[in-house]
Amino acid sequence: MAGWPAAVAALPAGPLVLSVDGPAAADWDALAEGLAAALRSAGWDADLLDVRGHYAPSAAERLSARPVPEHDRFFTPLSEAQAADLFDAVPRPVKPVDGGVVVVVFGPGAALCEPDVLWYADLPKRYAEAAVAHEDLPVGVNLGRPGEPGDLVRLFYTDWPVQDRHRDAIARRVDRWIDLQDAHAPASLDGAALRRTLAHLARGPVRTRPYFNSTPWGGRWAASELGFTPQAGNTALGYELIAPEAGVLIGERSGAHVEVPFQLLCVLHPEDMLGREVHRRFGTSFPIRFDYLDTMGGGNLSLHCHPQERYMREVFGWPYTQHETYYVTAGAPGSKVLLGLTEHADLDTMRRQVEDAIADGTPMPVEDHVQAHPARVGQLFMIPAGTPHASGAGNLVLEVSATPYLYSLRFYDWLRKDANGASRPLPYEHGFANLDATRRGEDVTKDLIQQPRTLRAGEGWREEVIGALPEMFYAVHRLVVAPGAEIADDTAGRFHILNLAAGQGAVIETADGRTHFLAFAETLTVPAAVGAYRVRSVGSDEVCVVKALVVEP
């Protein structure tokens, strides 16, 4: 259903305390106004209580984790605070006696006020990120600091973990889920229907809603080939499936839609989604992400590496690290991927050059230190933590990576400056602390640019392993299916992620009769609970499906 009047019409009889919880990025004043108007026109007497006015004076400070090292400008560890830390004392509204009265308690943390009815009003995270980046109030604020322009470091490492934990903790008792994307007529779904739908989705193939963000290196492939509207002139980073931020659309094709976080599937149905063993290892964190790096008509990514396992835990607070792989889906002639140290790379020289580039804009001779490889379509590049890398200009890379994605420890950004003359953050000290100086020269090609190995094959199909390393917890396979052929597969108790990397399309069919058409460049999650399924090629071309799965430790 859509609109406040419809949501209000579904309320039980009063008197009531109704809490509306949700992220700091919601426009809470507009929500209160719209909801109160609908309540009053439905004959309710509505009293409003904004919980943000009851936050402890030190709430904002309490929420954030201390940086390691102490004055780090770039990162803080993920906050371990709870929504309850926002308050010295949670407000406890007095329940009205008159049946026509509703007390509406709203704002982040409102669920803690022991309501009779609990609604969750959500705004997908991409809105908060864009609003904070552009200092757009009232949405672009941080948790515990209403009214003040927000800050992205705080949004990523403090607000999101605290808000996600809180949302996940109350998901089982939410009476209505509200999607605030259309602020005037928010779509909503009753809690029982939401949970029934999620239970169904967790046992069949599910696709998340894609979107693209712009960066200084972004290209235009997704704009020209898929028709996406570039946010700031380019379609650099395609969020296909980045679990903590991904949403699933629920609704009728032509009716109202509610976008709900993909993460709710993992929280409410961890064994169905992840499988018992993966759930045991990763909790409810969905550990693999698929995204696009579009540099077609754009520039080079920064030269960077990602944190080693232990550093990731101790400095950034993630239990597993940002291993990556790049699958080249398309590339302009002559395009490259930078990957791995050259045989004679000298890290002292490299550090001096990184510092000179920052201090006085001296260009760094990158290829003295890092190897450049031809970006052939269909090649997978393995990028375990600590490996210096960058996709070059002219590529469409499908990243098949571990879920954390905000830890690019940049060494060099090609002297790029924004409109205000500022460079992007270059946390190169973290970079050097994590750089793997041991894998270099020919070992890079041998270990990280692997040749496909056929795992199994039949008439018109084969499954290849295209990338696996002992230090990485997931492997990347490829299903190759001839026109008119099909391949049988089985999740065998752990989820698969599929992406159609070549060909016109494929149909995924599960044993319980669900079918899902996958078009070129689309990604699909096959939950662990699916078990046996088939992939049938569609069209006159051979189909290549990139598949990722968690492997045995």
Ligand X SMILES: O=P(O)(O)OC[C@H]1O[C@](O)(CO)[C@@H](O)[C@@H]1O
Q: Judged by CB, which is closer to ligand X: 87, or 326?
A: 326
Nearer to ligand X by Cβ, of 140 and 431: the residue is 431
Cβ closest to ligand X, residue 180 vs residue 337:
337
237 binds ligand X (CB under 6 A): yes
Q: Tokens in use for 56?
A: 């402890």
Read off the amino acid at residue 546.
V
* CA–CA separation, 527 and 521 (whole Å): 19
Spatial distance between the Cα atoms of 372 and 264, rounded to a whole number of angstroms: 41
Q: How far is the CB of 388 from ligand X (least distance, A)?
A: 10
- Give whichever of 320 and 541 is closer to ligand X, judged by the CB atom: 320
Nearest one of 397, 383, 534 to 467, comparing CA atoms:
383
Nearer to ligand X, 215 or 379 (CB): 215
Strands 16-21, 117-122: pairing kind:
parallel
Query: Is residue 217 near ligand X by the rule CB under 6 A?
Result: yes
DSSP state of 514: -
Among residues 221, 405, 461, 474, the one that binds ligand X under rule CB under 6 A = 405
Is position 160 an interface residue for ligand X (rule: CB under 6 A)? no
Stretch that binds ligand X, among 121-129, 259-267, 296-304, 334-342 (CB under 6 A): 296-304
Measured at the CA of 508, the angle between CA 505 and CA 513, to 5 degrees, comes to 140
To the nearest whole angstrom, how small is the minimum distance from the Cβ of residue 529 to ligand X?
Answer: 29
The residue count for binding ligand X (CB under 6 A) is: 11
Number of other CB atoms surrounding residue 415 within 10 Å = 12
408 binds ligand X (CB under 6 A): yes
Part in contact with ligand X (CB under 6 A); list of ranges 168-176, 186-194, 298-306, 529-537: 298-306
**SS3 per residue for 16-74:** EEEEEECCCCCCHHHHHHHHHHHHHHCCCEEEEEEHHHHCCCCHHHHHCCCCCCCCCCC
Residues 6 or more apart in contact with residue 348 via CB below 8 angstroms? none
Please, which residue, 27 or 399, has the CB nearer to ligand X? 399
For residue 217, the minimal CB distance to ligand X (Å) is 6
Sign of CA pseudo-dihedral 367, 370, 371, 373: negative
Q: From the CB of 408, what's the least distance to ligand X, in Å?
A: 4
**Which residue of 18, 51, 121, 301 would you call a contact of ligand X, by CB under 6 A?**
301
Q: Residue 513 Cβ, how far from ligand X at the closest point, in Å?
A: 37
Show the binding pattern over residues 410-449: x = contacts ligand X (CB under 6 A), - = does not.
Answer: x---------------------------------------
Using Cβ positions, the residue closest to ligand X within the complex turns out to be 302
Q: What three-state secondary structure class fits 299?
A: coil
Burial track 203-220 (b if 16+ CB lie within 10 A, e otherwise): bbbbbbbbbbbbbbbbbb
DSSP string of 326-386? Answer: EEEEEE-TT-EEEEEE-TT--HHHHHHHHHHHHHH-PPP-GGGTEEEEE--TT-EEEE-TT
Query: Running DSSP on this structure, what letter comes out for residue 442?
Result: H
302 belongs to the binding site for ligand X (CB under 6 A): yes
Q: Which of 54, 125, 304, 336 binds ligand X (CB under 6 A)?
A: 304
Instruction: Tell which one of 19, 158, 188, 215 touches ligand X (CB under 6 A).
Output: 215
Binding of residue 402 to ligand X (CB under 6 A): no
Binding site for ligand X (CB under 6 A): 215, 217, 237, 301-302, 304, 324, 399, 405, 408, 410
